[in-house]
Amino acid sequence: MSELVLVTGARRSRAGRAWRFVRRTWRRSIHARVITITVTAGVLLTFVLGSYMYQRIADGLMDNKVHSAEQDALSKRAVAQGYFSANDKPDRASLESLVRQTVQSVASPGDDLSRRVIFEQGLAPVTQRLSKQSTGPKNTVVPKAMQEAVAKDPTHQQTQIVTVPRYVPRYINGVENGSGIGTGHISAVMVGSQVVVPGAGVYDLYLVYPMDTEEETLGIVKSAFAVGGILLILMLASLAYLVTRLVVAPVRSAAHVAERLSDGALNERMPVRGEDDLARLATSFNAMADSLQRQIRQLEDLSTLQKRFTSDVSHELRTPLTTIRMAADMLHDRRADFAEPVARSAELLNRELDRFETLLTDLLEISRFDAGASSLQDEPVDIRDIVRRVCDGYESLATRNHTRLRVHGRRPAVAPMDRRRVERIVRNLVSNAIEHSEGRPIDITVGSNSTAVAVSVRDYGVGLAPGDSARVFNRFWRADPARARTTGGSGLGLSISLDDARLHDGWLQAWGEPGQGACFRLTLPAKTGVPIARSPLNLAPDDSAVGRIMPQADSLTIGTRTAPGSTTYAAAEITRMEGDRS
């Protein structure tokens, strides 16, 4: 029984693999689809037309056979009736001998028609009973319906298509010797009528015309149709293959060139042959590639200039900023000696210099990311320690904003990370939460699993409008430009945080609803080189599936869903693309 189960399972597995291969080929190959559809249509068309023509030929052969059989039977009946009418010996022996001779004479193949003759008593009464005489197989039986039709209308011939045993007669000196051979059955035309035998009464005379020749003709026609149909289907398949190849080859070439272009081979082009539509497609594709190449080079030049400008300006501003800082610090330290307006100006100057210095530092960090010069200083760190340090640093700011920081997470969350960069990410997330919390508490949660550690910062303030979760990591983007800032940010913090997360092969994600607050979650791999399978923390509070699994790299997925209670929210899974940096 177990062996039978194993064999059945193996067969099902092979059948499943074959079905998957067929489905994959059907989806991926235009060649396969066009050839399959063409061959299927050809088979159906060939079958329908072949069946129609075969039936018409068969009907024509049948009609011709019936017509010739009726004409021949009419003349042979007249011959038989002549023999019987000329007889002047009414005794039984003489009549039996006459019937045998007449039957043999009528059945003799003196023309192109082969016929069998049956002489027997019908349904009409007779004065003298004569024996049944027939040529061909002795087991040939006249249908009852044929006998009744002959008895009902004795003045006309009755015709019926019957099935009789197959039989090939043998003749000696023109007389059938009864040693015919044959197997199976064959259709035949049976023509029945009555003859008058003087001294014996009215008897039935049946002439049977087997359709051997017609059957052979139909066999030849069927073979010809089959061979012709197969050749036609093969020709259609070959034609479909050639035509499809003419169309698919340029499309595949375009796909190959497009893949090469996407890989950075901007000089790749399609070959142009002829002047037809496919040549126009190749020409248009090449023109598009030329235009894209020019624009990409222009954008690369502009990006290079922008990065160089940012880096140069950032570095060049360091020297005058240092001088200004020294003068501002001196004025700020002596502000008590100044009049009130001058002292206030010194304080404003010092505060704005702090913001300017922060902006300059962020610009330098951005330029390092753009130049690919950033590197990690990995060490095993419990992310809870970083969260505690950040919360201690922002406790006074939270108090001023009437906000309470609530930290959750008892289990260790240790992972290799650059402490400075991760602490900068957490600082940015906490400061943003304080800025937008509207005085409500902020929940900071730490979690871990086998592949990741995570920290989420959840506030219950103004939240994010639909679509803002996809733009919140853009440089200098602000959800509400009219909103006054209290933390003195540069507008680059979340963008730098996203680059720091990507440098760790981690995720930085955002969720928010208007009036319901926002949640930012940082997820880092627990082991170097091991990708994150799932984040240990929820992103959206009412749907644990949102953001638990990160999409493929360099992708952006934004969805609007309806959670229980008909609450609509936007969730964004964000991984920074190279194009987003410029």
> CATH number of the domain that 546 lies in?
3.30.565.10
CATH of the domain at 163: 3.30.450
Give the per-residue pLDDT at 7.
Answer: 56
All residues at 6 or more sequence positions from 188 whose CB lies less than 8 Å from its CB, including other chains: 116, 161, 162, 163, 164, 208, 209, 210, 211
**Over the stretch 302-315, which tens digit does the pLDDT of each residue have?**
767 666 666 666 66
Please say whether the beta carbons of 492 and 476 come within 8 A. Answer: yes
Arithmetic mean of pLDDT over the chain: 78
CA 162, distance to chain mean position in Å, is 55
- Per-residue pLDDT band for 63 (boundaries 50, 70, 90) equals very high
Q: Which of 316, 338, 368 is the last residue of a domain?
A: 368
Give the per-residue pLDDT at 384.
Answer: 92
Q: Domain check: are 196 and 107 in the same one?
A: yes
Q: Domain check: are 320 and 285 in the same one?
A: yes
Q: What mean pLDDT is predicted for residues 401-406?
A: 90
Q: Of 77 and 8, which is predicted with more confidence?
A: 77
- Per-residue pLDDT band for 545 (boundaries 50, 70, 90) equals very low
Q: Domain check: are 121 and 207 in the same one?
A: yes
In whole angstroms, what is the distance from residue 312 CA to residue 292 CA? 29
Give the per-residue pLDDT at 522.
Answer: 93
Q: Domain check: are 569 and 503 in the same one?
A: yes
297 within some domain: yes
- Per-residue pLDDT band for 568 (boundaries 50, 70, 90) equals very low
The identity of residue 555, as a single letter, is: S
Please say whether the beta carbons of 571 and 563 come within 8 A. Answer: no
Q: Which of 368, 394, 422 is the last residue of a domain?
A: 368
Q: Domain check: are 465 and 407 in the same one?
A: yes
Q: Domain check: are 432 and 492 in the same one?
A: yes
Q: How many domains would you assign to the chain?
A: 3
Q: Which of 213, 246, 270 is the last residue of a domain?
A: 213
Two structure tokens written together for 13: 């597995």
- In DSSP terms, which residues pair with 445 in a beta bridge? 408, 456
- pTM for this entry: 0.47
pLDDT over 90 at 164, yes or no:
no
Secondary structure class of 415 (helix, strand, coil): strand
257 within some domain: no
Q: Domain check: are 400 and 467 in the same one?
A: yes
**Radius of gyration of the chain, Cα coordinates, nearest whole angstrom:** 51
Q: Domain check: are 389 and 504 in the same one?
A: yes
In whole angstroms, what is the distance from residue 396 CA to residue 578 CA? 38
Q: Of 557 and 237, which is predicted with more confidence?
A: 237
Q: Of 442 and 27, which is predicted with more confidence?
A: 442
Domain that holds residue 548: 375-581
- Among candidate residues 135, 185, 131, 138, the one with its CA nearest the CA of residue 163: 185
- Per-residue pLDDT band for 560 (boundaries 50, 70, 90) equals very low
Q: Domain check: are 492 and 425 in the same one?
A: yes
* Cα-based angle 429, 497, 520 (whole degrees, multiple of 5): 40
Q: Domain check: are 336 and 429 in the same one?
A: no
pLDDT over 90 at 189, yes or no:
yes
In whole angstroms, what is the distance from residue 299 CA to residue 522 CA? 32
70 within some domain: no
